[in-house]
Structure 1
């Protein structure tokens, strides 16, 4: 009887906390498949322990998954060093469906693909402290307990992470950020539809950068493309070869607006944009065409590929 009750308790914890724990792991790892593995490992451990008899299961599970992620991230640099070309996080792509709990968490907590890319420039401890502080609102005392560090050390780690990631919009500026991204995405969509990129290119900063991830499976730029003129030449070149021909859809990419190009007999391509600190220009374009990273496309429309 106790075993059955324990199983039910673990299943209830899994249903209640899986979306949250997966979103935390995804922020830190940049891979949803690895994030789900981390969450699964945590609940296997909980099941082996016979459940958790504590008053605050959320904090306990967050600590468990954070420590599991930190262990997993020790191997990440070696994987990235051997990756062909630029490594970009795995995008979680959704049409406008509100049915997916993972997508709701990412949108509600305003992750955004651009922030996910920036998080990958941080060390594992910096990512952990930043996510726990910014996304979940934990105070430094709680974070210190979770990471077995002093409160002062956690403050310093957060400061280093924030310096790398740069300015983030305050709550009162979020509407302006959303409006800017919508405008940029609409301009990019029009450029792809018409093959005329002049107007979109003028939205880029002079030192804008484009990162392209084909994973060595499909052709992609192996190195960053830097500067407005070089990015313009890149898009005009691939458009001329027909690489941008297909069905273009406005989608959510890891919680922010972006574009998904569905192509006949070719892998899809996801596009995300990063605004500058003033939200009036684009400082980075992210292009993911690695088919192994484009398996998480939620919604009915993507099933109609032809």
Structure 2
């Protein structure tokens, strides 16, 4: 390919990666899909491609759907061991964030809810809500009718709305929320933490990738007790993570988060999903297979002072 052709693809790479990430919930898989799309772009008869953006969108969407339908993906998701890969605020893979729908479509809460959708429903929802494609355009991308696109969108919105927690946070409010949560979790008194949780709060964790299934807690008291135990530092925990940690406040996929990091890597993320001024859901991710990209972005980012300097 000549330089101009490569540059044309590279100019659209961030948008394509953002599309693939929303469809797959995995930054690593999204990068693989975009690279596969580049190889197809390289091999294509580009003189016959009238609208490269539309052509590449179709290729990335369908490559992503192939991955969602694969035996490996079905097994991992059906086994209850799947969580989205978290991304640090400012990561270009988070993509467009001009509208409420675009911002919500990349939260961990909505990425998890999209697991309830069929692959086609998921694709229609992402293309419509996050990228504002018309139903006619979506029909061409997915080889379905315009009417079918409308029906898929309606069903997807219903399922997402039924389980979604309202609430987003800016940096200032995120810090306030996380500081209060960490103080309560570190206090030794579970009632302080329970008071910050909604009555129907839930918590989910990947157990640092050591458990076969996700760990799920469904009452404020159990969540508070487990978090209190988890926040208590011990020599064994420090050995497991490779030394002392600092705890920082951040925005992860648009939500307030605690980020636990050593000098050179992120070792865990706890994301708080809000409803009003309380925490409706807690999502803990510590499996290193899910923290590769956030670690790379963390190394490049400037950080405010940690709320716990040495854990």
- Tell me by how many angstroms 1:163 deviates: 1.6
- Tell me by how many angstroms 1:300 deviates: 3.8
CA distance 1:182–1:215, shift in 2 (3 Å) = closer
Is the contact made by 1:143 and 1:151 (CA closer than 8 Å) also made in structure 2?
Answer: yes
Pairs within 5 Å for 1:28-67: 28-51=23-46, 53-67=48-62
CA distance 1:221–1:42, shift in 2 (3 Å) = closer
CA distance 1:29–1:182, shift in 2 (3 Å) = same
Where does structure 1 lack aligned partners over 5 or more consecutive residues? 1-5
CA distance 1:182–1:125, shift in 2 (3 Å) = farther
Partner residue of 1:186? 179
State TM-score, norm by structure 1: 0.80
The C-alpha deviation readout for 1:229-274, integer Å capped at 9, x for no partner, is 1101111222335459731112232343322112589971101122
Pairs within 5 Å for 1:197-276: 198-214=191-207, 216-217=209-210, 222-240=214-232, 242=234, 246-263=245-262, 268-276=267-275
CA distance 1:32–1:267, shift in 2 (3 Å) = closer
2:10 to 12, 15, 18: 15
- Tell me by how many angstroms 1:285 deviates: 0.7
Aligned length: 286
2:278 to 278, 281, 287: 281
Is the contact made by 1:30 and 1:120 (CA closer than 8 Å) also made in structure 2?
Answer: no
Is the contact made by 1:31 and 1:90 (CA closer than 8 Å) also made in structure 2?
Answer: yes
The C-alpha deviation readout for 1:174-215, integer Å capped at 9, x for no partner, is xx7325655533322333555555444322222211110136
The C-alpha deviation readout for 1:147-193, integer Å capped at 9, x for no partner, is 11111211111122112211699xxx9xx732565553332233355
CA distance 1:77–1:165, shift in 2 (3 Å) = same
Ranked by relative contact order (alpha carbons within 8 Å, sequence separation 6 or more), the top structure is: 1
Structure 1: distance between partners of 2:268 and 2:97: 21
1:161 aligns with 2:156: yes
Where does structure 2 lack aligned partners over 5 or more consecutive residues? 239-243, 304-308
Structure 2: distance between partners of 1:265 and 1:56: 43
State TM-score, norm by structure 2: 0.79
Query: Superposition RMSD on alpha carbons, in Å?
Result: 3.3
